[in-house]
Structure 1
Amino acid sequence: MPFISKIQRQSDYTLFDSTTPIVIDNGASYFRIGWAGETDPRVVFRNIVQRPRHKSTGETVTIVGDHDPALLKYFDCTRSGPRSAFDSNVVYQFEIMEYILDFGFDRLGAKGSGIDHPVLITECVCNPVQSRSKMGELLFETYGVPSIAFGVDAAFSYKYNQLQGVCDKDGLAICPGFTTSHVIPFVDGEPVYSGSCRTNIGGFHVTDYLKQLLSLKYPYHMARFTWEKVEDLKMEHCYIAQDYVAEARYFQKGAKEAEEKTRVWQLPWVPPPLEEPPSEEEIARKAAIREKQGQRLREMAEAKRSSRINELENELRGLEFLLQQLEQVEESKIPSFLSDTGYVSKQEIESARAKVTHSLRKAKGEPKSEQVETEKADPAANEKYSLINIPDDMLTPEQLNEKKKQLSLKSMSEGRQRLKQKRYEEELERERKQQLEEEKRLENPELYLENLRAKYKDLSERVEQRKRLKTNGSHSNGNNVSGGVGRGERLNAAQRERMRLLTTAAFDRGKGEDTFGASDEDWQLYKLMSRDNDDDDEGPDEDEVELARISSRLQDLDPAFVPKSEVGSSQPAEVPRFRPLTKEDFQIVFGVERFRCPEILFTPNWIGIDQVGLDEMAGVSIRRLPYKDEALEERLTNSIFLTGGSSFYPGLTERLEAGIRMIRPTGSPIKIVRALDPILDAWRGAAAYASASQFHTQTFTRMDYYEKGEDWLRSYQLKYTL
């Protein structure tokens, strides 16, 4: 079976005698395996299994424990996440347990499927018989081990530290583990399981709670909060508060103590490059490029202009040549001559020549005044309207129609000339006003700006008032306050007049009878209604145009001026601004989370577990003892032993002592000690126990398994004092 792991395989498996036991500390978090009599396990890895498929070959591989994240890019892990063989602290997935044992024996150096060494494996307190029997069946049937011994990990840790003089024969072992926490009383060096207590909370729940809090606080950094990283942050920063309420009040008030206890985790961050001002050489280079591009555009424009002038000159010469030929043609042959040229009359040719002349002068850039004078001096202009001054009685019907056309054309031409002259005069007036305004500004800039702001305010209020009248109508409630909520109040004067005409017209003719529409005269009413211009269809008035001009002028002269986003709004326009990311945006701040997460060890109901905490568990365990003895209870509380992976929190010993003192009589001796190594002391105690000469008397052999069956394991109990 292929394995992917960074753990090296041991090479001295064959050097150990077959009577040397293999010691396994099968914890819910880590799996430790080694040889009896040694001080440290040979192989340690996470007690999880993942079985992804290779992306190219489709082969299923087994990843047990820790793995190299760089290898996962070759495997599809979307359908196979990390799986554990444990439910709380009990093994129930023996298919996964088989993968873990295969990997453990393989890394220990065993070859083949047979294991010819006795096995001592740890289990939880009061492990169900079904789980113990399935584990025995797996070891006997699959691996062929000669004998098995089951022991409690917390008990081995307590016995190991008892030999080191850390704790006494009588005491309480409190083991906050990975998924559960246990309290086991010891009397004369042996555990009393009838007085043990368990709570389904441990280090897993603390890590998961911290991960949830950080994900809610920093959702944009959620990908950074992997399980392994949050576990490291928990072990590095979390602590137990002696008084949770007082500690939380420090952070609520922002006291100095809270600042001292706040920690910061800086995520990888690269500052954006600073934009240095361009050098003189760069500025000169860009200016040269712009000048070169401008010169090329000017050359292209000049070439296009020259080509256009040549085309117009050629067209003008052609039209003049055509007019010269037309003068030499006889009067009777003019229609046939014009039919070949595509023109209808001589006037049309002269009109085309005037247009081409106008376009040519415009292309050459001649001034307008010269153009106007030239047009006035054009002798052919009078020939266009030759029939206007002739009386009607001297004209034929065809000439009368032509005279009407000439009158219409002349009136339109004169109208265009007047419109041009009016626009020209308006432009001159506008330039004169701008010049006067600029002189006022240069004479006194501050006074000019003040007057401009006052005029802007007055115009904006006037336009807002007009907008409100359009919305609310001219209705007044008697207090000279316009507005209201009804539809009648929202109508303007023109709309109310329409409604009045429509409601009264039907009864004017028929004396109360609805005869509207019977006569054609009734439909003249709509002509009256159409004469009332609706304010909603009007374009911007002079005030709005002037307001826009003053607003643009203020924006140019006053940098602090902010125009209103829309007429009638009192809030200035908020322009969204992009804020560059800084170093502080990539900082994870640990404040109240440092002591809030491990607090669930004492108050599990915070995460929905309706059970007691560590301090109350000690009192429950003492009350469950089958015999009542005050002296024994004092000896138990005088030697309270802490072990397990979740016993490293700073302040745990002091908080636990204060909690137990509250449930014990006044003056009771309370002493709490921590294991020398809360993580490895369980395996070391089991290795020391398996190296004793009387260890074989505590094992359950394969012959007993075949003869007595699994039910014999119900009465099996290891004796820890040999």
Structure 2
Amino acid sequence: MTTNEPNVTALPLADQPTAKFPDSYDHYRGSKTPIIIDNGSTTLRFGFSTTPTPHCGPNVITKYKDRRTNRPVLLFGDAVELENNSRSQAKTPWEGDVLLNADALECSLDYAFLRLGIDTESVDHPVFMTERICSPLHSRALTSELLFEQYTVPNVAYCLDAMMSFYWNNRPLQESQQDGLVFSFNSASTSIIPVLGRKGILSHAKRIPWGAMQSADYLLKLVQLKYPTFSTRITTNHANWMYRTFCEFSDDYLAKLRRLKDPLEMQLAGRIVQFPYTATVEVEKTEEELARLAEKRKEQGRKLQEISARVRGEKLLQKENDLAYLTALREERATLGKREWTTKLQSEGFDTDAILDDSIKKLEQALNKARKKEIDGGGGEENVEPPSFPLLDTPDEELDEEQLKEKRKQRLAKAGYEARIRARKEKEREREERAAEEKKEEEERTRDLSGWSQKLRSEHEAAVLKIKDRNRRKAALSDRKSAVAQARMKSIASLANEEKVGRKKRKAGGDDMFGANDDDWAIYRKINIAAPSSDEEDDMAQLQTLEAKLLEHDPSFSTEHTYAAQITKRSALISAFRPSYEEGDTEGRNRVHLNVERWRVPETYFQPSIAGVDSAGLAEVAQMVLAAFSEAEKARLVKNVMVTGGPAQIPGLLPRLHASLRPLLAPEMELNVTAAADPSLDAWHGMAHFANMTDYTKIVVTKAEYDEYGGERVKKWWGGNWNAAV
């Protein structure tokens, strides 16, 4: 995936592993050329000591059962990225800084020897291998047992990768001049090793439990916290790539944070990672398709109209049948006796004649209304004739009991009819007034658009200010120490006092008159936080009306000026920290913005407490290391400070390390901070160079020594873990 936008980097897709054929073994067959293996936590580097460059690959294996073939599968290195099932089962030979997984180590060695083309039953080559500083003896015993018993190698030697990198970069110097302070940046830790006369003083070496792996995990947590609902799952590999690509050290971290308080600075310092996404493609329809869809909708509308007409006809027929039946029932009243009629009436569900007459009347009205609607085609307003109320003009003396009841009903019906007429006239009057106001406003807008706009903007600003004041008061009520909250408590106390007085008055025969005045109820708005104000909805309606008018007629008033945009818009600093994208912007919602994290994560090397690690930083540890030496030795050490290891390639490390070490030294003491020529491969090159020298044979452990002393057999030398008397 590519992007043409500046400052946007697309997340690289995982490369499919290519077939890697074994090298030709003909040149090395029977040559006893040492095999150099830099057994890193994340990368395995291996090759013969005479080759210019080693083979490199991820030091990870996976074992799982293929669901399609139901067979066990073993993958190593790049092949682990084949599918998710294999990645979930991946593991390395290392657990932090300790070599524990013998199966993974055996798979790594198998891959290395097969890749080098070794086709014999045993590996008839010396093996020169790295190990961690201060590694436990059982880790070395595990490796030695595997090499001697499984592969029957003739001899094995172990070294520290930091020492071999220092040796490779300082080999032109005399041995007595090879002094320095080595900062070894590894995957799971960072070590500081003082070197005097090419010999590592491991008794004064220090290590902090922080490396590239912890930094990548910390960056992943920061990104997950920043984007809790990110559409794509961000993995550790993604975080590791972002850490190596975008992070850098700062000379002064606090000063950098102060500069980033400026939204413009933060925006310029940000880096955008574009994650893959699937864009929604809207297919444009042709005119023929649009015409066909319109005809289809018309056909559906006609079918619905036919169904509605059929239903109305069925209901109309049902009502006519019911009316004919009830009319015939009422005509039977003249032919039946009173008792028979009462029995007949009750059997039909009517208690009195009035109820029957009222049902017939309602049915006639409904039938007339339905017929009218059927004639008009279901549209238009019905011209209802004014109802008549004949009994209202007749005196009560001339009416019997049933007619008096009917007269009361007609009086209520007349009152309701007159109320509806008044409401209709009131609505017409309001409509006319509204039309007149709109006409007047339109004339004013036509005559002076800027003045009209300024007037509405002032009203809009006043309405927004009123709503903000109300919201500010609600927020202040949540703080019990605020003046508004204290005033509320005083109001509650006053009400309680009045309540007591009211009870005494009631006992004495007095009346509680609270609520007789409408102003009494305003007190509840002051003491009830959750209850909305009675005019709050009116203010919002007025605000929306003003905004609609301004958006329609004022070109300088956009959606960004509306109250909704103001309350949803965050501060400029937060917007620069994490820009927000609209709901339909799929590309923007699949982006990760890195700004403060670019310097915060590397700063953990100097301040591990930022990430919650109880450890001293590199500057403090370096101060403790240098404190163990005399001033003369300290001057020799700091004159050649070298950083090595893959994480040492993070930009800005050398200036930051120099700025951290300079205050710890005397002003006249010379300080030089340099990086290895190739922090990732210099250790392997140093091992290959030393393995071709005659001194290499003095540090190896042979098969005979292994058989006699066991896998924990060690030899002290300047590049190993045991370079002092044991």
TM over 0.5: yes
| Match of residue 475 from structure 1 | none
2:646 partner letter = G
Specify whether residues 274 and 487 from structure 1 end up closer, same or farther in structure 2 by C-alpha distance, changes over 3 A only.
farther
Q: How many Å separate the matches in 1 of 2:240 and 2:639?
A: 32
Task: Indicate the percent of aligned positions where both proteins have the same amino acid.
Answer: 22
| Match of residue 604 from structure 2 | 600
Correspondence list, 1:348-363, <5 A: 352=356, 355-356=359-360, 359-360=363-364, 362-363=366-367
**Contact persistence 2:248–2:652 (CA under 8 A):** yes
Structure 1 residue 581, shift from structure 2 partner:
5.2
Structure 1 residue 26, shift from structure 2 partner:
1.0
2:273 corresponds to 1:265? yes
1:39-60 residue CA offsets vs partner (Å, 9 max, x unmatched) = 2223x33334444555678766
2:52 corresponds to 1:39? yes
Q: How many Å separate the matches in 1 of 2:19 and 2:252?
A: 43
| Match of residue 654 from structure 1 | 655
| Match of residue 512 from structure 1 | none
Specify whether residues 610 and 445 from structure 1 end up closer, same or farther in structure 2 by C-alpha distance, changes over 3 A only.
closer
1:232 partner letter = W
1:10-45 residue CA offsets vs partner (Å, 9 max, x unmatched) = 253465324122211012222222222112223x33
Structure 1 residue 271, shift from structure 2 partner:
7.1
| Match of residue 325 from structure 2 | 315
| Match of residue 8 from structure 1 | 20
Q: How many Å separate the matches in 2 of 1:278 and 1:407?
A: 77
Q: How many Å separate the matches in 2 of 1:90 and 1:640?
A: 27
- The worse-fitting range, judged by mean Cα deviation, of 141-150 and 356-365 is 356-365
Structure 1 residue 117, shift from structure 2 partner:
2.4
Correspondence list, 1:34-183, <5 A: 34-42=47-55, 44-52=56-64, 61-73=73-85, 77=88, 82-110=90-118, 114-163=122-171, 169-172=177-180, 173-183=182-192
**Contact persistence 1:361–1:371 (CA under 8 A):** no
Q: How many Å separate the matches in 1 of 2:82 and 2:275?
A: 20
| Match of residue 231 from structure 1 | 240
Structure 1 residue 249, shift from structure 2 partner:
1.6
Correspondence list, 1:562-577, <5 A: none
2:23 corresponds to 1:23? no
Specify whether residues 142 and 444 from structure 1 end up closer, same or farther in structure 2 by C-alpha distance, changes over 3 A only.
closer
- The worse-fitting range, judged by mean Cα deviation, of 106-115 and 31-40 is 106-115
Name the larger-Rg structure. 1
2:415 corresponds to 1:422? yes
Structure 1 residue 143, shift from structure 2 partner:
2.6
Structure 1 residue 694, shift from structure 2 partner:
5.8
Specify whether residues 354 and 34 from structure 1 end up closer, same or farther in structure 2 by C-alpha distance, changes over 3 A only.
closer
2:258 corresponds to 1:249? yes
**Contact persistence 2:198–2:718 (CA under 8 A):** no
Q: How many residues align?
A: 603
2:309 corresponds to 1:299? yes
Q: 1:200 aligns with which of 205, 209, 230?
A: 209
Q: How many Å separate the matches in 1 of 2:270 and 2:565?
A: 36
Q: How many Å separate the matches in 1 of 2:430 and 2:39?
A: 92
1:503-534 residue CA offsets vs partner (Å, 9 max, x unmatched) = x9xxxxxxxxxxxxxxxxxxxxxxx99xx999
Specify whether residues 415 and 696 from structure 1 end up closer, same or farther in structure 2 by C-alpha distance, changes over 3 A only.
same
Structure 1 spans left out of the alignment, 5+ residues: 377-384, 390-405, 458-480, 505-527, 536-546, 563-571
Q: How many Å separate the matches in 2 of 1:659 and 1:556?
A: 61
- The worse-fitting range, judged by mean Cα deviation, of 633-642 and 151-160 is 633-642
Structure 1 residue 94, shift from structure 2 partner:
3.4
Structure 1 residue 439, shift from structure 2 partner:
4.1
**Contact persistence 1:343–1:349 (CA under 8 A):** no
Structure 1 residue 140, shift from structure 2 partner:
1.4
Structure 1 residue 247, shift from structure 2 partner:
1.8
2:368 corresponds to 1:364? yes
Q: Equivalent residue of 2:604, what SS?
A: helix
Specify whether residues 201 and 411 from structure 1 end up closer, same or farther in structure 2 by C-alpha distance, changes over 3 A only.
same
Correspondence list, 1:612-623, <5 A: 612-615=616-619, 617=621, 620-622=624-626
1:580 partner letter = E
Q: How many Å separate the matches in 2 of 1:619 and 1:195?
A: 11
Specify whether residues 16 and 666 from structure 1 end up closer, same or farther in structure 2 by C-alpha distance, changes over 3 A only.
same
Q: How many Å separate the matches in 2 of 1:230 and 1:708?
A: 45
**Contact persistence 1:555–1:561 (CA under 8 A):** no
| Match of residue 686 from structure 1 | 687
**Contact persistence 1:196–1:624 (CA under 8 A):** no
Structure 1 residue 662, shift from structure 2 partner:
2.9
1:187-225 residue CA offsets vs partner (Å, 9 max, x unmatched) = 444444445443333222322332232222222239643
Specify whether residues 321 and 684 from structure 1 end up closer, same or farther in structure 2 by C-alpha distance, changes over 3 A only.
same
Q: Equivalent residue of 1:299, what SS?
A: helix
Structure 1 residue 421, shift from structure 2 partner:
1.8
1:138-158 residue CA offsets vs partner (Å, 9 max, x unmatched) = 221233222111122122222
Q: How many Å separate the matches in 2 of 1:575 and 1:616?
A: 48
| Match of residue 378 from structure 2 | none
Structure 2 spans left out of the alignment, 5+ residues: 1-15, 373-382, 443-454, 464-489, 517-532, 549-562, 569-580
The two structures have a TM-score, normalised by structure 1, of: 0.67
Q: How many Å separate the matches in 1 of 2:274 and 2:59?
A: 30
Q: Equivalent residue of 1:658, what SS?
A: helix
1:242-291 residue CA offsets vs partner (Å, 9 max, x unmatched) = 222222221134464x5443323234466777999999969975884586
**Contact persistence 2:47–2:116 (CA under 8 A):** yes
**Contact persistence 1:23–1:33 (CA under 8 A):** yes
Structure 1 residue 677, shift from structure 2 partner:
1.2
1:708 partner letter = Y
**Contact persistence 2:699–2:716 (CA under 8 A):** no
- The worse-fitting range, judged by mean Cα deviation, of 124-133 and 105-114 is 105-114
Q: Equivalent residue of 2:250, what SS?
A: coil
Q: How many Å separate the matches in 2 of 1:408 and 1:574?
A: 68
Q: How many Å separate the matches in 1 of 2:286 and 2:542?
A: 27
Specify whether residues 554 and 149 from structure 1 end up closer, same or farther in structure 2 by C-alpha distance, changes over 3 A only.
closer
